Amino acid sequence: MKKPPKVRLRDNEPLQDYYQDRDGARYAVARLLDDAKDLPVFEVPLAGLNLSSEPWNGENMRGLAHHVRACMNADLSYPILLDWNGAIADGRHRVLKAIALGKRTIKARRMHWKPVPDREAP
């Protein structure tokens, strides 16, 4: 008997294209990570992060499965990046994995400056 086909998911991208701050300005994540690479790493309590955002609005089941797989594969040894307001600029999949595993803290770096955006808010 032939097996049913496997559901295909899109490949994981190495990092998201951009980060949009609370004012709507956009920043290239690769640039933010490069700018922050020498910042100290510290443990931030997960309970202290703002978890109210809806990072994947309008995702269907296939799209959500893509993010679930990314969470399962996330490397918690790599610090997340917090922006100048303390919001998660990079690392949502790692944060979700840490929460699902019952962790209390996660490694982080925090930017203490607001860089010039790559695209201004509309």
pTM of the model: 0.85
Q: Quick check: 9 pLDDT over 70?
A: no
| Angle 58-62-65 from CA coordinates, rounded to 5° | 100
Mean pLDDT of the chain: 89
Rounded-to-integer distance, Cα 119 and Cα 98, Å: 31
According to DSSP, the β-strands at 42-45 and 80-82 are unpaired
Quickly state the pLDDT bin for 66 (edges 50, 70, 90).
Answer: confident
Q: Which amino acid is it at 55?
A: P
Could you tell me which CATH number the domain at 18-50+60-110 has? 3.90.1530
Q: Quick check: 58 pLDDT over 90?
A: no
Return the structure tokens found at 42: 């510290």
Q: Quick check: 76 pLDDT over 70?
A: yes
Radius of gyration of the chain from Cα atoms? 16
pLDDT in tens, 15-29: 568 899 999 999 999
pLDDT at 10: 64
Residue spans per domain, the chain: 18-50+60-110
